Structure 1
Amino acid sequence: MSSRRLNSPRTTGTYVRRALVIGYLFLLVIWPLSLVVLHTFDGGLENMRAALSDPNVVIALQMTVYVAAWAVVLNTVFGIGISLLLVRVEFPGRRLLSVLVDLPLSVSPVVVGLALLLAYGSTEGLFGPALKDAGLQVAYAPPGMILATAFISLPLVVREIVPVLQEIGTDQELAAQSLGAGGWQTFWRITLPSIRWAVVYGVVLSLARALGEFGAVKIISGNLIGKTQTATLVVEQKYQDFEQGAAYATSFLLALIAVAAIVVVAILRPSHSTDQENP
């Protein structure tokens, strides 16, 4: 009896904390997303058909996938490179670089879009006129949208890879080099397989973030309907034009892709092993 009495307050406290966490997540995430789903299919598949039959929505979805795909490619390549630089190389200013990597998480996306516009605008931008003379338009075009999206989502890749690199250490890499392996051989055969799941998960998070980017893309793209408008911008336009059905359907598609990607990775990622194990 005494042991039960001693354990019961702790058990009750655990249940209360769990209930608070679940309630918080329900009110913040589950309930709002469920309302989007309910409104999307409120009239059956009519909202989805109307959205997918609208050429502006289709073009915006294609543009979203195009921009997100290129942003993910850039973030994967440079994210791995920056992570290796932060963990494996000692150099002055390394801590400053680490702080700069986290900067996109603290700066408003609208500020990012404005900064890119000031840097690459064809008239007011610092590099814009030179790029325009060279036949390359960055602002109000896909290149600027890709840069803005990559900037916003870069930390998600780096912060997934850095802890794994720190944990696996350099023993295997040094052993490979002592046996005559070159830098690229060591990277492809030792380092990359050891961090593969960190890279995959970072890429998925980056993709989910890229699909939902709004503020920075709206500024740098100019929100040109049928040209540089992405899915998130279509949602805003349709909702303001009182075409809520199309807005709900487009929002549902974006959320579905992002959630599906995260769920698939969570299922495929082995729970019994870690990234440190040899492939």
Structure 2
Amino acid sequence: MVDVSTPTKWALRILALGYIFFLVAWPVALVVRETFSDGLTTLTDALSDDQVTGALQLTLMIAVWAVVINLVFGVSISLLLVRYEFPGKRVLSALIDLPLSVSPVVVGLALLLVYNGRSGWFGPGIESTGYRVIFDSPGMIMATCFVALPLIIREVVPVLHEIGDDQEQAARSLGANAPQTFWRITLPSIKWAVVYGVVLSLARSLGEFGAVKIVSGNITGRTQTATLVVEAKYQNFQQSEAYATSFLLIFVSIACLIVVAFLRPKNEA
């Protein structure tokens, strides 16, 4: 361990705190201040707006679906990466990080090219069966799943590496089948990684903007999510409602993180 002098320690602390303050805390505080500049009036007016409430409901629905889908596939992929060896394992691991390095707008455009009902690769065939992907909730859920998938996997994989597979092998040697081993041994060992990954995935899903804007069409009352409402309200000089909607998204995300932080045992932090 490198021995750092006290002045250097304080300088590093001030630098880190200043960076977080100006990048995160101050902008968020300004949104909160603008939301409550007139007391609760701004917030109540926003919640009485059908456009805002409809967008919040749609956002919550999309986020829940995306989290559930990512939970199932995220845990499955994590087990696949840690517990098994197969050709292309490194390629799969690299592809998982792709959503973190690719712009969400590019993701939305790619989905549009593949699932567009007029000229997409699979869109016309899907729409001929009566289902619609682009400019409807399925496309929005797919886009949200894509951008949030790595968050669960990157929380679970390190824990699986840490706990090893000794207990799982012991359970199998005693006659436990794969589902019993997972539910009784593996899942309890990774539960807090899963919970934290779900919370991060939920926060990311609630705040998704670029990819959803491309595949949704931003149709008011139908495919307009909360983040799209923030943009529309701000551009239409309805800043107060834009601030209130932003505050609600911030509040839900921070509340989830706080709840997990208090519930999570200290020895598993």
TM class, shorter-length: over 0.9
In the alignment, is residue 141 of structure 1 matched against residue 136 of structure 2?
Answer: yes
Counterparts of 1:201-220 in structure 2, within 5 Å, are 201-220=196-215
Residue number among 166, 169, 174 corresponding to 1:179 in the alignment: 174
Alignment TM-score, normalising by the size of structure 1 = 0.94
Runs of 4+ in structure 1 over 2 Å off: none
Aligned residues: 267
Residue number among 17, 41, 50 corresponding to 1:46 in the alignment: 41
Matched letter for residue 268 of structure 1: L
**Any idea what SS the aligned residue of 1:242 has?**
coil
RMSD: 1.0
In the alignment, is residue 235 of structure 1 matched against residue 246 of structure 2?
Answer: no
Q: Which segment is superposed worse, 71-80 or 41-50?
A: 41-50
Aligned to 2:247: 252
**Offset from partner CA, 1:124-170 (integer Å, 9 cap, x none):** 11110111011110000001000000000000000000000011111
Residue number among 206, 218, 228 corresponding to 1:223 in the alignment: 218
Structure 1 Cα separation of the partners of residues 93 and 134 of structure 2: 28
How far has the Cα of 1:55 moved from its partner?
A: 0.5
**Offset from partner CA, 1:90-131 (integer Å, 9 cap, x none):** 000000000000000000000000101111111111110111
Counterparts of 1:22-101 in structure 2, within 5 Å, are 22-101=17-96
Alignment TM-score, normalising by the size of structure 2 = 0.98
Residue number among 94, 98, 105 corresponding to 1:103 in the alignment: 98
Contact 2:192–2:268 (CA under 8 A) maintained in structure 1: no
Matched letter for residue 139 of structure 2: G
How far has the Cα of 1:53 moved from its partner?
A: 1.0
Structure 1 unaligned regions, length at least 5: 1-6, 275-279
Larger Rg: 1
Matched letter for residue 42 of structure 2: N
Aligned to 2:156: 161
**Offset from partner CA, 1:42-79 (integer Å, 9 cap, x none):** 11111112111110111000000000000000000000
Q: Percent identity?
A: 63
**Any idea what SS the aligned residue of 1:180 has?**
coil
Structure 2 Cα separation of the partners of residues 130 and 229 of structure 1: 25
Aligned to 2:123: 128
